[in-house]
Amino acid sequence: MNGIDLRPITLLQPRRGYTPDFLSPPPSEASATFDDDLARIAGTPPDRVAAEITRSLHDTKGAADSEIGRRLRGDPVEVRAMLTDLIRTAWHALVEPVWPRVRTLLDADVSFQSRRLAEGGLDRLFAELHPTLRWHGNTLTRLHGDDDHRDLAGEGLLLMPSAFKWDQVVVVLDEPWQPTVIYPARGAGTLWQELSGPPDAALGRLIGRTRAALLIDLTEPATTTALAHRHALAPATVSQHLTVLRDAGFVAGERHRHEIRYRRTPLGSAAVDRSASK
């Protein structure tokens, strides 16, 4: 695609089998950037690179002896550099342009799961997180998984939503990685749907067409940056409109770490619902 040869990455991601953990290490902190993660990949010890690639190629019939497989079994320092550069290129070409939309979906899922955990504890969280997960007697199991296991021994478990895993739950168990469960984010199936059509004419006349579009879009909390990306507007323009909507009581802002997420208030939802019912 556009001159990017993704075969070295796709060969290391069998549909059923092991994908090298060093290619997507569990985040060390919630605010880690892509450059932070890329630096961790580039800093993986060569012996771990070789061991994880060998294990992954073994899970795909004929992969190790293919042309790409032989390249991946070469000098681990050179292979690591090649994969790091390829991931960087793929990010800039394929993911970065849509990242604000993806990040909004992931942040919304984290907020939802946090509320569910607070309301019902681990029993409620794992009962509804994914159909293949079972929580019983302080043990989390995955249906149709392999026989690997790990005693957390106080390490904690990282739960990470994904916009690119549609029907699978992926687990990271091998040391030295943080034990991690990667699951499909809520709403991932609608991520690439186009936004709904033009806002209701009456609501647009009342508060302005752009403000109406922003208000209708706030089905989940979103940041100024995410809304600007989705509506092809400057962040400063979106910020001005959100300020008007906030002052009118239609939206409210809530701080989440270093950013402000806006959500509809009951008044804002009532305005949208009344508009949609006409």
Here the CATH number for the domain that contains residue 258 is: 1.10.10.10
Q: Is the pLDDT of residue 2 over 60?
A: no
Question: Are 46 and 104 members of one domain?
Answer: no
**Residue 30 within a domain:** yes
179/124 same-domain check = yes
Query: What count of other Cβ atoms lies within 10 Å of the Cβ of residue 41?
Result: 18
In a domain, 193, yes or no: no
Please indicate, yes or no, if residue 140 is contained in any of the structural domains: yes
Domain boundary among 58, 79, 98: 98
Residue 95 clears pLDDT 70, i.e. is over it: yes
Residues 41 and 82 in one domain: yes
- 58 and 109 together in one domain: no
Cβ contact 222:214 at 8 Å = no
**How many structural domains is the chain composed of?**
3
Are 79 and 136 in the same domain?
no
Asked whether residue 24 is domain-assigned, the answer is yes
- Tell me the mean pLDDT in the region 253-265: 85
Q: Cα separation of 68 and 73, whole Å?
A: 9
Q: Tell me if 196 is assigned to some domain.
A: no
Pairing of strands 158-162, 180-184: parallel
Asked whether residue 93 is assigned to any structural domain, the reply reads yes
Confidence at residue 1, expressed as pLDDT on a 0 to 100 scale: 44
How do residues 58-88 score in pLDDT, each as one tens digit? 888 888 889 999 999 999 999 999 999 999 9
Closest CA to 210 of 251, 240, 253, 249: 240
The reply to whether 25 and 85 lie within a common domain is: yes
Q: Is 242 in the same domain as 220? A: yes
Is residue 135 included in any domain, yes or no? Answer: yes
Name which of 33-47, 85-99, 168-182, 186-200 the model is least confident about.
Answer: 186-200
Q: Which of 72, 98, 124 is the last residue of a domain?
A: 98
> How far is the CA of 114 from the CAs of 85, 108, 117, 121, 182, in angstroms?
35, 10, 5, 10, 15
Instruction: Please check the confidence at residue 276 and state whether its pLDDT lies above 90.
Output: no
Domain span including residue 263: 201-276
114 and 184 housed in the same domain: yes
By CB atoms closer than 10 A (0-12, 13-18, 19+), residue 170 is middle
Same domain assignment for residues 93 and 108: no
What b/e readout covers 174-204, taking b as 16+ CB neighbours within 10 angstroms? eeeebbbbbbbbbbbeeeeeeeeeebbeebb
In a domain, 194, yes or no: no
Which residue among 45, 70, 98 closes a domain?
98
Model confidence band, residue 275 (pLDDT cutoffs 50, 70, 90): low
